[in-house]
Amino acid sequence: MLVLSALHNLLSQIVSPGKLHTAVLLTPTGELVSAASKPRRPKDEIRVIVGLGGEVWRETKDQGMGMVDSELGKILVLPVDDDSENQDFGRFLHRPPLMLLALNAAEDVEWQELQNKGTALAAHLAKPLGQFRDILVPMNTTGLTSPSSVRLA
């Protein structure tokens, strides 16, 4: 069973005021799962990050991550996947990751710092989430997920 409070606590550990201020976990179809921010942000801003994160991922999934500068700051999107050792990022065209991790940081935070923190957290999250692959990412005949078929226990 996925415990949302545990996911929130993990996301909270990576955020810090004025730097990497928001961490969001979302499904590959763009549904918000959990978010943490310091200072607390309005839900509308979190939804904007989810929307931008989902769009960035759709455009860059063959590269294995996505980056964008926005009015909200830098946004980095990484896959949370139980096959993280596989460096063939084209696999995401046919098999979506378990989840997506979107990190939002101030403009002065280096992309490499965001990537290092995000990669470590995504790998940490992938281990327990991997056991739920069949529930989290059911496949249809085209290899894409249906938004209505994604369930969280």
What would the pLDDT profile of 45-76 be if each residue is shown by its tens digit? 999 999 999 999 999 988 889 999 999 999 99
pLDDT exceeds cutoff 80 at 146:
no
The whole-number average pLDDT for the span 93-119 is 91
Phi, psi of 107 (to 5 degrees): -60, -30
What is the architecture of the domain spanning 4-149? Answer: 2-Layer Sandwich (3.30)
pTM higher than the cut 0.85: no
What would the pLDDT profile of 73-105 be if each residue is shown by its tens digit? 999 999 998 775 555 555 555 578 889 999 999
- Domain spans of the chain? 4-149
Per-residue b/e over 32-66, b at no fewer than 16 CB within 10 Å? Answer: bbbbbbeeebeeeebebbbebbbebbeebbeebbb
pLDDT exceeds cutoff 90 at 5:
no
What integer pLDDT is reported at residue 123 of this predicted model?
Answer: 92
